[in-house]
Every structure is written in C-alpha cells, then in structure tokens.
Chain A
Amino acid sequence: MSLLTEPGGRTAPTAREEAPRTRRGAALPLTAGLVAVLVLLCLLSAGIGAYGIPLGDVIASVQHRIGLGGAPLDRVGESVLWNVRLPRVVLALLVGASLGCAGALMQGVFGNPLAEPGVIGISSGAAVGAVASIALGLSFLGNWTVTVCAFVAGLATVLLVYVMSREGGRTEVVTLILTGIAVNAFAGALIGLCLFFADNAQLSQITFWQLGSLAQATWPKVLAVLPCALLGLAVAPLSARKLDLLALGERPARHLGVDVERLRLVLVLVVALLTAAAVAVAGIVTFVGLLVPHLLRMAAGPGHRFLVPGSALGGALVMVAADLAARTVAAPAELPLGVLTALFGSPFFFWLLRRTRRRQGGWA
C-alpha cells in the first residue's frame, strides 16, 4: 500500500505524467496476441524435440483425434506426440496459468506488487507438503496424494504469512519480504529433514522434483492437478472487481460494499489451490507469478478484470516457452525449469526492488 503513494507527496515525476497513456483499449488486442502466440508455441513445443514432428503433421494429428479431418501419424510419431509431448505441454499450460494467476491475486490481496508465491514462501510451504508425502511414501489418495498434501501445507503457509506480515490493515514491503525469508528458511529446514529420512530412490525423486521440471509428464499427472488448477482458475476472475476496490485499502473497500473478510478468505484459498497445483507437479518454479502480472500491468493498466485472467494466459505462455527452452537449449540434456525461470526472474526482481525503493525513498 505504501509502494506507489506517499502521504501528501508527489511521486518522482515520470514520463507517464506528461504523456497520459490510453491503456483502456490495450486489453483486447493484448489478449488476442497472447492467445495467438500461446497456440503457436504449444504446437511448436509439441513438434520440436529428439523426434521431430513437422508443424503440419502435429496439426493434422490433433485434427484427426478431435474428428475434424486430418490424418494420424505413424505409430512412433503418434505415441511420441500423444504420450510424451502433449501431456507435457498441457502440464506446462496448467502450471504456468496457475502461477501467473496466483501471482496476480496475491499482489492484489496484499496490495503489494512484490507479493509472489515463490518470494514470500508459499511455494516452499507447499513443497514441504509434497516432499513429506514422497519421503513418507504416502499414497492414501492415489495420484492426488502429492497435490493434496501440497495444498494443505500451502494453505497453512499462506495463512501464516498473511497473519505475520499484516499490521494495522496493511502490508509493508519490508515485513513481507522478511516474513518470506523466515518462511523459506523454515520450509527449507523441513524439506532438509524429509531428505534426511528419505531413502535413495525417494531422494533422487525429490531432488529432481525440487529443481522444477516437467520431464515426467504423463496424462495421470495432468489429471492429478487438473481439478485444483481449473477450480482455482475458474473462481479467480469472480473477485477481479473487488480486488480493484481493495486497492483503495480495506476500509474504503468495505465502504464500497466489499465483504473484505470473505474476499480475503476466498482468495487465500484460491492462491493455495493454484500454488499447490503448480508445485505438486513442477516443484518450486519461482518468479513467473511476479514477472507476468507486472509486465501486463505496465501494458494494460492495473485493472484486475484483465489482469487476473491475463496473468493466467501470460503465465501459461511463459511456462510453455520456458519448458521448450529447458529441453532444447542443452539437448539431449535438460535444464531444470526452476533454474531457468530464476535465471531470468531474479534480475527482474532486483530491478523491481530498486525501483520500489527509489519511489519510496528508502525502506524505513
């Protein structure tokens, strides 16, 4: 809340002041552009790899399967496309959309542009649940075990961070980031404990998972996170208008008819759902939820009616692109996805911190 406004003072003059941007009309072309690029990237990602499938053949095979003409590939091609590539693409879409959307929601709830599931420790919290379920060999809910454990742990973490970092109805940047450090440290310790008690097979599974990867994507895995992700993505836009009002502060939002307590509860649940969906399959993939909403806010303004669904779209786009890069840049080896996003996300976070500090004139 303190980021962009200072009591009674004028913010540092920026170019925006002189040249008002007409951002109102930017949402529609931006959405269309995002969708177009996303579709293209998905098709490309389905075709590119050790076993190359031309773009036309990918389209033909997809057409064939959904009964719109087209033609199937040969047996190997069909198997590679439908059992290896496409589940991976779909998983990337789900994870990316969840992370982007969760980032936009968190920033809105905290009224703070630095809030992000990875930065403030929600992802780590969810990871504790996931790691624990692997290390303890839990399987009480079949495929859904890891997701459910991640959700429960993630939910507990969101609530903890929320309670710890709010003071008098607002969240200061410093408090939020420091809370994130503490939560991340604690979650790291718990994950370390789980590793200590895990056997060798579990150990390698956990380590690989922790780095963030979609390498073992299968349709059952997609199904394991689909309910979480879809539920979260469907509920999130319902609160968009209320999130706009929340930007005024809690009391003014209440004066405009927002049941702030209920809104907060719903959104915290949704964030936990989305983060759990992403973490359960892909490990800790940071900064997507930070980067995407920011770029969209710069392009189309801060209105949440575009920002929330737009961030889901943008997140999916970034994730599909990142996954494609992760498995092609160093082929035949595969870069961990989390490493890749952090590589690009961290400098951006650093820039954001600098900018925030400059606007605020210090942290104190």
Chain B
Amino acid sequence: MIGRLGRRLFAGRERALPEPGAAGDVLAEAEGLRVRLGGREVLAGVSVAARAGEVLALVGPNGAGKSTLLAALAADLPADAGIVRVCGRPAADWSAPELALRRAVLPQSAALSFPFAVEDVVRMGRAPWAGTRAADDDDRAVREAMAATEVGEFARRPFSALSGGERARVALARVLAQRAPLLLLDEPTAALDLRHQELVLGICRERAAAGDAVVVVLHDLGLAAAYADRVAVLRGGVLAAEGAPGDVFEEELLSRVYRQPVEVFPHPRTGAPVVTPRRSPATPA
C-alpha cells in the first residue's frame, strides 16, 4: 500500500508522454559521433539516423562498433565528440523515465538475477508506463508481445529454466511490451533457430509498418538484405556505406569490409541480394 502511494506520489509526474509522430520522422540520430572505450576509439565520427517507419540494419565485422553505436543511440554511452539526439533532443537531456517511454533496447545477452516467471519478465517492460493512462493497456501489451514471440507456452516457467533461444525471445517480448516508438535491438537473432529468426525480423517489419523506427544489429547479411529498408555497414568505427541493401551489398565492398571474398547474387525468386562467402567447390572424395 505504501508502495502504491509512493508510486503515485513520485512517478508519472512531470513526464511528457511522447506524441505520435509521422512516418519519416527522425527518432534517433548520431552526428559525427565519436566514442572512446578503454582508451580505444570505437566510433570515429559516425552519422546515422533512425526514421519512423523504417528498419535500419547495422552490419559489419566483429569489433566494428555496431553495439557501441546502438548503445550510444540508446543514450547508454556519452559521446566524446559529436552528438546523439533522441526524438530531436540531445540524449543527455532526457531523464531515464522519459527515455523509457521513447525507446526500448534489447541487450545482446539476457540475464536475470532472480528466477522470475517468464510472464513477470515480460510485464517488466510495462514498468515505464506505470501511473500513466497507457497502464490500462498493460495486460493486452503483455499478451500480444508474448503471442508475437511465441513464448506463451512457457509463460509460467522461471526464466532461469529456459534455453538460450527461449530467453532471447522472452527478452524480445519484454522489449515489445514496452511499446516505445524507437526499437534498438542488439543481435536479436543470434541465439535463434531458422524459424524464429524469420519471426523476429517479421516483427521488426510489422513494427516499422506501424510507424516505429527499428534499428537492429545483424550478422546475417541475408536477413539484413531481406528485411531492412536501409543498411549501415560499419568498419573500424566508421561508416563504410549506407543505403538500401540492393545498393550497398556489392561484392567488392563487402569483401573489403569483411576481409573475406564474398559473392553477391540476386535471389532467383525474390531478387533480393544473397550474400555468401566465396568457397571453392567441394571436391568429392
């Protein structure tokens, strides 16, 4: 009871709820962003924008700065130079409760200190809305997020008893339940099987179609080509290329960026670019 009173007293006040935007609005952007971590310059002047209604994929080799860029867009990391804006305002000017209404973040690995049930974990995503009118939608948001990620069947199980892939989907369900207009997903497909990879990127597309801005770090270039509106290719902390997958994914660029010869060819049915490493044909024994 005291807790409820306290929440009513301290939460929800002076918080401006986000206003619905139009397609194409820039919800997060970095301008000339430089970030140093542990003495190393991880981002060396990157400019990128996440627009409402678009899926932006961040790709590049390991250590290229993808996750750092995502964390900077999430207002987790301070910029050493340049600026990050979320919904038009410098990231550092937002308070944590205000930001939570505007952007949801899926971390690379999902951890949990105590064995909460899956449904409780998903419900944590609704915490930012406590005390606002949107809190009335809590149950529906949780239910829909769990249905979309197909985690309903183990809703009552403790999170700690799930497999890696199941945990990843529960974490995504939590992020979806938050219903923020900006979604930042760090390798959401890394632990998932084929079906669920498609499912997750399908969700990204749906959210973009519904007017959200989605930024997603991906390793699978085929997935990026099939689902992203725009792709930003990072290498060594700078942007090597940015644009529609069909324009950006070319053999010469990708081979250089990944230091691995690749082949790019249009898919025979859909025409989307397919990227595979260049391998010598298997010799029969």
| Chain A residues with a Cβ under 8 A of chain B | 1-5, 7-11, 13-14, 16-17, 20-23, 111-113, 234, 237-238, 240-241, 244-249, 251-252, 254-260, 297, 301-303, 305
Contact A256 B100 (CB under 8 A): yes
Partner of A23 from B101, B117, B191 at Cβ < 8 Å: B117
Mask of B1-14 contacts with A, CB within 8 angstroms, 1/0: 01100110010000
Alpha-carbon separation in the docked complex, A23 to B119 (Å): 12
Partner of A252 from B105, B114, B130, B161 at Cβ < 8 Å: B105
Contact B116 A247 (CB under 8 A): yes
- A255-B74 CB under 8 A given contacts A234-B2, A240-B3, A241-B3: yes
- A257-B96 CB under 8 A given contacts A16-B161, A20-B156, A248-B112: yes
Alpha-carbon separation in the docked complex, A305 to B100 (Å): 21
Chain B binding surface, main DSSP class:
mixed
Q: Which of B39-47, B121-129, B133-141, B211-219 contacts the other chain?
A: B121-129
Nearest residue, chain B, Cβ from A252:
B107
The answer, yes or no, to whether B115 is at the interface (CB within 8 Å) is yes
Give the chain B neighbours of A16 by CB distance below 8 A.
Answer: 115, 157-158, 161
Contact B114 A257 (CB under 8 A): no
The answer, yes or no, to whether B149 is at the interface (CB within 8 Å) is no
Alpha-carbon separation in the docked complex, A2 to B95 (Å): 29
B181 to chain A, nearest CB (A): 14
User: Residue among A237, A240, A252, A297 with the most chain B CB within 10 A?
Assistant: A252
Nearest residue, chain A, Cβ from B7:
A241
Contact B156 A3 (CB under 8 A): no
- 14 new A-B pairs (CB below 8 Å) besides A16-B157, A244-B116, A258-B127? A2-B111, A4-B113, A113-B114, A238-B10, A241-B7, A247-B112, A255-B105, A256-B127, A257-B97, A257-B98, A257-B101, A257-B128, A301-B115, A302-B116
The answer, yes or no, to whether B255 is at the interface (CB within 8 Å) is no
Mask of B146-180 contacts with A, CB within 8 angstroms, 1/0: 00000000001111111110010000000000100
Give the chain B neighbours of A13 by CB distance below 8 A.
Answer: 161
Residues B66-93 near A (CB distance < 8 A): 74, 76
The answer, yes or no, to whether B208 is at the interface (CB within 8 Å) is no
Contact B76 A257 (CB under 8 A): no
A27 to chain B, nearest CB (A): 13
Contact B3 A302 (CB under 8 A): no
Contact B112 A4 (CB under 8 A): yes
Alpha-carbon separation in the docked complex, A4 to B111 (Å): 9
Give the chain A neighbours of B124 by CB distance below 8 A.
Answer: 244-245, 248, 256
Give the chain B neighbours of A11 by CB distance below 8 A.
Answer: 160-161
Contact A8 B191 (CB under 8 A): yes
Contact A17 B191 (CB under 8 A): no
Contact A4 B6 (CB under 8 A): no
29 contacts between A and B (CB under 8 A): A1-B113, A4-B114, A4-B115, A5-B160, A8-B164, A10-B162, A10-B164, A13-B161, A16-B157, A16-B161, A20-B156, A21-B156, A113-B114, A237-B3, A237-B6, A241-B7, A241-B130, A247-B112, A247-B114, A249-B107, A255-B100, A255-B105, A257-B97, A257-B127, A258-B127, A297-B114, A301-B115, A302-B116, A305-B3
Alpha-carbon separation in the docked complex, A11 to B115 (Å): 11
Residues B227-249 near A (CB distance < 8 A): none
Give the chain A neighbours of B178 by CB distance below 8 A.
Answer: 256
Contact A238 B2 (CB under 8 A): yes
Contact B116 A301 (CB under 8 A): yes
Give the chain B neighbours of A244 by CB distance below 8 A.
Answer: 116, 120, 124, 127
- A257-B100 CB under 8 A given contacts A17-B157, A249-B111: yes
Alpha-carbon separation in the docked complex, A14 to B140 (Å): 31
Give the chain A neighbours of B161 by CB distance below 8 A.
Answer: 10-11, 13-14, 16-17
Alpha-carbon separation in the docked complex, A363 to B252 (Å): 47
Contact B120 A303 (CB under 8 A): yes
Alpha-carbon separation in the docked complex, A303 to B160 (Å): 15
B217 to chain A, nearest CB (A): 15
Give the chain B neighbours of A10 by CB distance below 8 A.
Answer: 161-164
Give the chain A neighbours of B99 by CB distance below 8 A.
Answer: 255, 257
Contact A256 B116 (CB under 8 A): no
User: Residue among A5, A14, A17, A259 with the most chain B CB within 10 A?
Assistant: A5
Contact A247 B130 (CB under 8 A): no
User: Residue among B10, B98, B99, B127 with the most chain A CB within 10 A?
Assistant: B127
A3 to chain B, nearest CB (A): 7
Contact A259 B97 (CB under 8 A): yes
Alpha-carbon separation in the docked complex, A23 to B156 (Å): 9
Give the chain A neighbours of B105 by CB distance below 8 A.
Answer: 251-252, 255
A28 to chain B, nearest CB (A): 13
Give the chain B neighbours of A20 by CB distance below 8 A.
Answer: 117, 156-157
- A111-B100 CB under 8 A given contacts A4-B160, A20-B156: no
Give the chain B neighbours of A111 by CB distance below 8 A.
Answer: 113-114
User: Residue among B117, B121, B191 with the most chain A CB within 10 A?
Assistant: B117
Nearest residue, chain A, Cβ from B6:
A238
Give the chain A neighbours of B127 by CB distance below 8 A.
Answer: 241, 244-245, 256-258
B103 to chain A, nearest CB (A): 8
Give the chain A neighbours of B103 by CB distance below 8 A.
Answer: 255
Alpha-carbon separation in the docked complex, A297 to B3 (Å): 19
Alpha-carbon separation in the docked complex, A347 to B171 (Å): 36
Contact A247 B3 (CB under 8 A): no
Give the chain A neighbours of B160 by CB distance below 8 A.
Answer: 4-5, 11
B115 to chain A, nearest CB (A): 6
